[in-house]
């Protein structure tokens, strides 16, 4: 352990009344979040990895050198502070520290992010911007979303698997593939791990993965990243309704866990935790046809057969309080692998899950084609080469079964849960059409 940090206590422990640290001397290590002066009295808000606490410094009660150091310390300097814990109802967390000793570890240069910094400046300096209170809370909620997903899958006997990121053929159409030189051959970054999950259900039946996915989408919208995180699941012997039930249970579990573990954080972010905590199955299910009718009634110009974009989905979901499924799209709007509806092959057995309050699509999924000849026909209809999908077609040659799956856009879910304007705030270092630094 670093010398001088032997008695270190983290902020969360001090603020927890059950730690009974009142009157005790403690060592804190962290960063200067804020500093204020009232004549002979200085205040520092000290931040560590667990929270923020106020430190008060009386000119008369500390050695001159300590007071001078506090006077010169700058915002975001890293410091070690020793002091006595005092309960104070006026202090933000109910406790504050009376400073005794102070050491500046790294004196920070002038903080380059002014209060009124615009979005571009904040994201140019994202490595620093991430220290903000709101950004920290979002990262905590995001981590809990990942925890909750793994908990739910584990509780329901799904096996986590690890598909490759470097792939050889498109899943969601060639237009959005990131291409790279692979020792003189062509390879791509994965758009979705779906096909690899489909290869693993014959041995494990219910599998999932949580992976980054990549799409070179020229979309400058508040819900598109070029590198985003998808939680994908695939199960043998499940049809569209079975997998839809899986999706609503998973989403509800995530929402309830986040609402329970992050009540205060959500409030700080401007999200009423009860909005999220009340999300429970079943979610409404409507057909694509019905969705188009609803959007039309709300005054937008759209016809049966048109794709729903962000604006249309916003309209469709603006009055909802919990997610809703839109099922059975025309086949021309979806990738080739979706199962055609037996009674009307112009429609496919797919389902998108739409988040409420205008947030729109968070999940795409459905039942897959499990018949070899139908699959080859659909690959050709989409002007793709069956040869590129040889191993995928193979899965239909050896013990094929009806099966279904889905992909949940985790960043989009975090955006909705945290009530954020833009998806870029959900991920530490967003990648968009115009950003790959830092």
CA 341, 289, 299: angle at the middle one, nearest 5? Answer: 165
Closest of 276, 281, 280 to residue 245, by C-alpha? 281
Q: What pairs with residue 224 in β-bridges?
A: none
> Residue 215 or 396: which CB sits closer to ligand NSS?
215
DSSP assignment, residue 280? -
> Residue 31 or 196: which CB sits closer to ligand NSS?
196
- Cβ atoms of residues 326 and 356 within 8 Å: no
> Residue 47 or 223: which CB sits closer to ligand NSS?
223
> Residue 35 or 424: which CB sits closer to ligand NSS?
424
> Residue 74 or 168: which CB sits closer to ligand NSS?
168
Q: How many CA atoms lie within 13 A of 50 on its CB side?
A: 12
Shortest distance, position 256 Cβ to ligand NSS, whole Å? 20
> Residue 117 or 165: which CB sits closer to ligand NSS?
165
Shortest distance, position 406 Cβ to ligand NSS, whole Å? 5
Shortest distance, position 368 Cβ to ligand NSS, whole Å? 8
Shortest distance, position 389 Cβ to ligand NSS, whole Å? 14
Shortest distance, position 48 Cβ to ligand NSS, whole Å? 32
Binding site for ligand NSS (CB under 6 A): 171-172, 192, 194, 215, 217, 224-225, 228, 230, 232, 361-365, 405-407, 409, 411-412
Shortest distance, position 208 Cβ to ligand NSS, whole Å? 10
- Cβ atoms of residues 34 and 14 within 8 Å: no
Between the alpha carbon of residue 79 and those of residues 29, 69, 104, 246, 343, the distances in Å are: 6, 10, 5, 48, 69
Closest of 83, 86, 75 to residue 57, by C-alpha? 83
Shortest distance, position 31 Cβ to ligand NSS, whole Å? 31
Closest of 149, 145, 195, 144 to residue 169, by C-alpha? 195
> Within 10 A of 13 (CB to CB), how many other CB atoms are there?
14
DSSP assignment, residue 425? G
What DSSP string describes 309-372? -HHHHHHHHTT-SS-EEEEEEEGGGS-TTBPEETTEEEEEEEEEEEETTTTEEEEEEEEBP--H
> Residue 171 or 255: which CB sits closer to ligand NSS?
171
Shortest distance, position 212 Cβ to ligand NSS, whole Å? 11
- Cβ atoms of residues 231 and 408 within 8 Å: yes
Is the four-CA dihedral 395, 399, 401, 406 of positive or negative sign? Answer: negative
> Residue 99 or 210: which CB sits closer to ligand NSS?
210
**β-pairing, 166-167 with 179-182?**
unpaired
Distance between CA atoms of 210 and 214, rounded to whole angstroms?
13
> Residue 44 or 363: which CB sits closer to ligand NSS?
363
Q: What pairs with residue 212 in β-bridges?
A: 229
Shortest distance, position 323 Cβ to ligand NSS, whole Å? 11
Shortest distance, position 412 Cβ to ligand NSS, whole Å? 4
Q: Tell me, rounded to whole angstroms, the distance of Cα 315 from its chain centroid.
A: 23
Please name the residue that has the structure tokens 């050709």.
380
Shortest distance, position 381 Cβ to ligand NSS, whole Å? 18
Distance between CA atoms of 195 and 364, rounded to whole angstroms?
14
> Residue 392 or 406: which CB sits closer to ligand NSS?
406
Shortest distance, position 264 Cβ to ligand NSS, whole Å? 27
Residues shown for the chain: 438
Enumerate long-range contacts of 36-45, CB under 8 Å, 24 or more apart.
37/71, 42/67, 42/70, 42/71, 44/70, 44/73, 44/79, 44/81, 44/99, 45/92
> Residue 362 or 418: which CB sits closer to ligand NSS?
362
Closest of 42, 12, 57 to residue 30, by C-alpha? 12
> Residue 172 or 275: which CB sits closer to ligand NSS?
172
DSSP assignment, residue 27? E
């Amino acid at each position: 352990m670093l010398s001088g940090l032997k008695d270190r206590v983290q902020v969360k422990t001090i603020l927890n009344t059950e730690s009974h640290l009142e009157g005790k001397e403690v060592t804190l290590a962290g960063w200067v979040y804020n500093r204020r002066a009232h004549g002979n009295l200085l205040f520092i808000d000290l931040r560590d990895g667990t929270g923020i606490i106020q430190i008060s410094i009386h000119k008369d009660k500390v050695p001159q050198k300590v007071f001078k150091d506090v006077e010169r310390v700058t915002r975001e300097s890293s410091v070690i502070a020793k002091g006595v814990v005092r309960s104070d109802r006026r202090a933000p967390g109910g406790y504050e520290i009376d400073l005794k000793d102070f050491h500046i570890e790294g004196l920070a240069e002038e903080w380059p992010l002014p209060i009124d910094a615009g979005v571009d400046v904040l994201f140019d300096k994202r490595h620093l911007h991430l220290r903000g209170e709101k950004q920290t809370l979002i990262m905590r909620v995001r981590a809990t979303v990942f925890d909750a997903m793994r908990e739910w899958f584990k509780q329901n006997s799904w096996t986590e698997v690890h598909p490759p990121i470097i792939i050889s053929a498109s899943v969601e159409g060639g237009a959005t593939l990131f291409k790279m030189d692979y020792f003189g051959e062509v390879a791509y970054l994965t758009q979705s791990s779906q096909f690899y999950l489909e290869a693993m259900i014959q041995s494990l039946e219910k599998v999932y993965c949580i992976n980054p996915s990549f799409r070179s989408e020229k979309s400058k919208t508040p819900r598109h990243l070029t590198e985003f995180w998808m939680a994908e699941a695939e199960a043998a012997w499940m049809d569209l309704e079975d997998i839809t039930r899986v999706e609503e249970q998973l989403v509800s579990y995530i929402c309830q866990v986040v609402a329970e573990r992050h009540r205060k954080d959500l409030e700080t972010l401007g999200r009423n935790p009860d909005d999220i905590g009340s999300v429970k199955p079943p979610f409404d299910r409507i057909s694509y046809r019905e969705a188009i009718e609803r959007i039309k009634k709300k005054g937008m110009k759209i016809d049966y057969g048109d794709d729903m974009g962000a604006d249309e989905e916003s309209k469709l979901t603006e009055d909802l309080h919990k997610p809703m499924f839109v099922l059975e799209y025309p086949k021309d709007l979806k990738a080739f692998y979706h199962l055609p509806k037996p009674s009307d092959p112009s429609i496919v057995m797919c389902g998108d899950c739409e988040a409420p309050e205008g947030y729109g699509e968070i999940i795409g999924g459905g039942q897959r084609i499990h018949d070899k000849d139908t699959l080859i026909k659909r690959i050709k209809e989409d002007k793709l080469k069956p040869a590129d999908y040889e191993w995928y077609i193979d899965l239909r040659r050896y013990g094929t079964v009806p099966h279904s799956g889905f992909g949940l856009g985790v960043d989009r879910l975090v955006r909705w849960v945290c009530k954020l304007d833009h998806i870029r705030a959900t991920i530490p270092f967003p990648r968009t059409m115009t950003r790959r630094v830092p």
